[in-house]
Chain A
Amino acid sequence: MNLPLSLTINGVRRDIVLDDPRVTLLDLLRERLDLTGTKKGCDRGQCGACTILVDGRRINSCLALAVSHDGAEITTIEGVGSGGELHPVQAAFIAHDGFQCGFCTPGQIMSGIGLIQEGQAGDDPERVRECMSGNLCRCGAYQGITEAVLEAQSDMTASKQRRSA
């Protein structure tokens, strides 16, 4: 069965012909498109390491069939930041040491970006912790992760205000 699909990945349109309907977005990215920044930690929606943005929303790419997402706009960790500059969330993760082994980090960062876009947490650390709880970190870098998301959000809000002023 040949399944044509077209995805916009990190701003680039990709026309893909899948030979297998079983391929998940995660495996498509990692095994067929050499976008290995997105990680597979559990493959069952239980760890968040595979978090990407699909049409602007953070989801677990391991539980998404590629073929069902024809036409979708996808952002992965490789598409974050621009012109060699780190995204504020990425920079804040470094500054706050929001990771150790780094394996959950792409998912954490995509989740943090998704959370900030959702606008549900505000500057409440408790809401940030709750809303970042879909991303496990076995090293235990949660304190840095929470601080990083809060700081990035506040930086992004401030710079948006500056721009609109």
Chain B
Amino acid sequence: MTVELSLTRDPAHIRHGSNIGQPMTRTDGVLKVTGKARYAADNHPPGMVYAVIATSCIARGRVTALDVAAARRHPGVIDVMTPAHKPELAEDPDAKGNPFAFRMELLQSDEVRYANQAVAVVIAETLEAATEGAALLSPRYQVEIARVGLDAGEAYAPPVVGIGNPAEVRHGDIDAGMAAAAKLTDSTYQTPAQYHNAMEPHAIVAVWDGDRLFIDTPSQGMGFAQMRIAGLFGIPPANIHINSPFLGGGFGSKGLISGPQVLGIMAAKLIGRPVKLVLRRSQMYGPVGHRPPTRQRIRIGTDESGALTVINHEARVTTSSFDDFYEPAADASHTLYASPAIRTAHEAVRVDTGTPLFMRAPGEATGSIVLESAIDEAAFACGIDPLEFRLKNYAEVEPTTGKPFSSKALRQCYAKAAERFGWAGRPLQPKQMRDENGFLVGWGVGTATFPAIMFQGNARAVIRADGKGVMETGAHDMGQGAWTALAQISADSLGLDFDQLTFRSGSSDLPDAGIAGGSGHTATVGAAIHNAGAAVIAKLAELATSDQRSPLFGAGNAGVVARAGRLHRRDDDARSEGYADILARAGLAEVDATGSGAADAAAQSQYAMHAHGAVFAEVKVDPELGQIRATRLVGAFAAGRIINPLMVQSQLYGGMIWGLSFALHEEAVMDHRSGRILNANLAEYHVPVNADVPPMDVITVDEHDPHVNPLGIKGVGEIGITGSAGAVANAVFHATGIRVRNFPIKIEEIVMGLS
């Protein structure tokens, strides 16, 4: 089923002329505030039953017994899916078909490779019965000693980090840079394991009809999911219909279909009935990815003037015992600061956790807080204001490649945000400022950056006989505002007022829009829409300009412009014809065309493409009790063209809050013996609450970038975390004089440091 959003009649939605750039409120806003937006777990097809996963409470070993009989005896339980009783799969879930096919646990064996791994699935008539059935399985284990933490084993150099990046990068002469340093800071930082914790737990409602499969599930990449499911079940991808109109947050954890979601499909196949499977919150700490812990040593050399001579950034990360994902933490040092010598290197340790995966700004977030803290340390060592230090070492070209930037308005970001924040006059020394209540006050700055990435995406545009338009693309809205921003681009691409457009999205039956990740969805799908729109308008123009009865006859394809549902002669605006009239005369019910979007390899080889920003933070610290509160955050960001300022502002706010959270709050606590996560909940895994979030200010700095893509979009989904985390951490140093290098910053560090 394709979701078709009826546009609200809020006047804010009806714009004439250019839709791009307008701060329209969300087209799905009414659905979301009335509870009518249907998320995966809200579906309830006839005959549906409930599946609940039983998870392992050990991190390594084997399941030796499951009390299946006890579970089956529980009233309402229909079946228990175990390694011994499950549908056959067409493909080994541990097979590595491509770099995006991560191994998953689909009851292929009794092996346990991390805590919270699925060991069985109980299917019952009610949620209550399935839940208790899962508890009654009371697994017994043969336990092996868990490998926990960054020192769990021998470190090795991973083959690649992130998506195909080299594990080590060297630019310039590192030894010479070290030797040339008048001052060298050498610090080691640690960042914790973090879990995405989207508000919506992973969920699936699966219905089989012969060898066709219908699923409601949140997905940031329906095309990838289709391929993976098709392989596992041995059916053509086209037989798999994924409905994912709304995600209750993804942040990377819904980029690839996860094991638990596939278990829901297996359960439906096993019993031949529709099945709903929803992860419990605690079960999200394992099989759906996480940000791995890192330990990063960073050495920064500066000469007498404070100019960088070297950045040597080394990161140790963990990955799972059975698969490979390496957080590219040190890569954050590639692009920001002009240093004649830069080295980044990674090493990895295998531990008994689920495989880490992409989590909002993977690598950039972990690396940025360390780089920005270390730059702050270097500036302080040089006795230079940290903003001035950053400007002094401003990269005019990408340091590691020497490529020019396609655009880079970072200087304006620094200037505008600093002015708004009131940075001038900040004392260089820490612990100098107090507020009227005696709290220590600190100000910190961080630079934000994120690459302008594009994937592959497609769209189909239609002009109908009534002159209205349709745009179709299987895009994903996880909250960033695809329903709105992509519709705005669609309307412009079709030369239509917004209310003349039907925008269809959120279904795998529509053209594959690629993955919603890497902050590249709007750029990628926007380009596809732009091209599809241009193609269908070209077809209309061809119809009109080649028809003698049209006022546009003879204008030639390049000679017309589309506006408000009509084509106008470029050289004579008064001569025009409406879309409906063109189609009517041609006797056509509709005309359609497709378009695709992808990165321009030629431009990429020529230019370095990144969004940038500057974030300034104020924190207050209780001088005796050590509790910290951020009190102001100001960020200025240059991210190419802004499609919808309201939605972009929200994305940047959200990213900045993630940065604040990284510095001060979130951390998964793991028992160092058992490998179990002790705060696999939302009471003790602290994400910021409303009262943690200070008044925020976001400034967007205009950037016209003709190189990144036809619309000049760079993406804003992740950049807000970078810079912000470091800015907050640096503000804590400025308030207290204590440089905490173990994140999140904990009360005891401040309490004991201030004694």
A-side residues, CB < 8 A to B, are 20, 22-23, 27, 30-31, 34-44, 46-47, 49, 76-78, 80-81, 86, 90-91, 93-95, 97, 99-106, 109, 125-126, 128-130, 132-146
One of A35, A38, A81, A145 near B34 (C-beta < 8 A) = A81
Asked whether any CB of chain A lies closer than 8 Å to the CB of B315, the reply is no
Q: In the complex, which residue of chain A has the Cβ closest to the Cβ of B278? A: A40
One of B25, B28, B199 near A138 (C-beta < 8 A) = B199
Q: What are 28 A-to-B residue pairs whose CB atoms are below 8 Å?
A: A20-B128, A20-B129, A22-B128, A22-B132, A23-B128, A27-B127, A35-B35, A44-B682, A81-B34, A91-B33, A97-B26, A99-B479, A100-B249, A100-B651, A100-B654, A101-B198, A102-B31, A126-B691, A136-B199, A136-B682, A139-B479, A140-B653, A140-B654, A140-B658, A142-B653, A143-B693, A143-B695, A143-B696
Known A-B contacts A95-B25, A140-B658, A141-B653; the reply to A44 vs B681 at CB < 8 A is yes
Asked whether any CB of chain A lies closer than 8 Å to the CB of B39, the reply is yes
- Determine chain A's interface SS by DSSP, over half rule: loop
Q: What's the least CB distance linking A31 to chain B, in Å? A: 6
Q: In the complex, which residue of chain B has the Cβ closest to the Cβ of A95? A: B25
Q: In the complex, which residue of chain B has the Cβ closest to the Cβ of A89? A: B33
The reply to whether B689 and A133 form a contact with Cβ atoms under 8 Å apart is yes
Known: A39-B200, A94-B33. 5 other contacts (CB 8 A): A44-B281, A101-B250, A103-B39, A130-B691, A145-B690
How far apart sit A47 and B655, CA to CA, in the bound complex (Å)? 20
How far apart sit A30 and B36, CA to CA, in the bound complex (Å)? 13
The reply to whether B480 and A100 form a contact with Cβ atoms under 8 Å apart is yes
User: What per-residue 1/0 map shows which CB atoms of B687-711 lie under 8 Å from chain A?
Assistant: 1111101011000000000000000
Known A-B contacts A27-B128, A78-B34, A97-B646; the reply to A47 vs B690 at CB < 8 A is no
For B687, the chain A residues whose CB sits under 8 A away are 136, 138
Asked whether any CB of chain A lies closer than 8 Å to the CB of B29, the reply is yes
The reply to whether A103 and B248 form a contact with Cβ atoms under 8 Å apart is yes
Q: What's the least CB distance linking A47 to chain B, in Å? A: 5
Q: In the complex, which residue of chain A has the Cβ closest to the Cβ of B23? A: A97
How far apart sit A140 and B651, CA to CA, in the bound complex (Å)? 8
For B683, the chain A residues whose CB sits under 8 A away are 44, 46
The reply to whether B249 and A77 form a contact with Cβ atoms under 8 Å apart is no
Q: What's the least CB distance linking A40 to chain B, in Å? A: 7
Q: What's the least CB distance linking A66 to chain B, in Å? A: 11
Place the interface of chain B in its size category. 35 or more
The reply to whether B480 and A47 form a contact with Cβ atoms under 8 Å apart is no
- Determine chain B's interface SS by DSSP, over half rule: loop
Known A-B contacts A86-B30, A136-B682, A138-B199; the reply to A102 vs B248 at CB < 8 A is yes
B-side residues, CB < 8 A to A, are 10, 25-26, 28-39, 41-42, 44, 50, 126-129, 132, 197-201, 246-251, 278, 280-281, 478-481, 646-647, 649-651, 653-658, 681-683, 687-691, 693, 695-696
A-B CB proximity, top 3 nearest? A37-B35, A103-B248, A100-B479
Q: Which of A31, A81, A97, A106 has the most CB of B within 10 A?
A: A97
Q: What's the least CB distance linking A72 to chain B, in Å? A: 19
How far apart sit A129 and B278, CA to CA, in the bound complex (Å)? 30
How far apart sit A100 and B648, CA to CA, in the bound complex (Å)? 11
One of B38, B479, B656 near A101 (C-beta < 8 A) = B479
Q: In the complex, which residue of chain B has the Cβ closest to the Cβ of A142? A: B693
Q: What's the least CB distance linking B508 to chain A, in Å? A: 20
Known A-B contacts A41-B199, A136-B199; the reply to A100 vs B481 at CB < 8 A is yes
How far apart sit A42 and B647, CA to CA, in the bound complex (Å)? 27
For A49, the chain B residues whose CB sits under 8 A away are 199
One of B36, B200, B479, B656 near A41 (C-beta < 8 A) = B200
Q: What's the least CB distance linking A122 to chain B, in Å? A: 16
How far apart sit A140 and B666, CA to CA, in the bound complex (Å)? 14
The reply to whether B197 and A138 form a contact with Cβ atoms under 8 Å apart is yes
The reply to whether A139 and B249 form a contact with Cβ atoms under 8 Å apart is yes
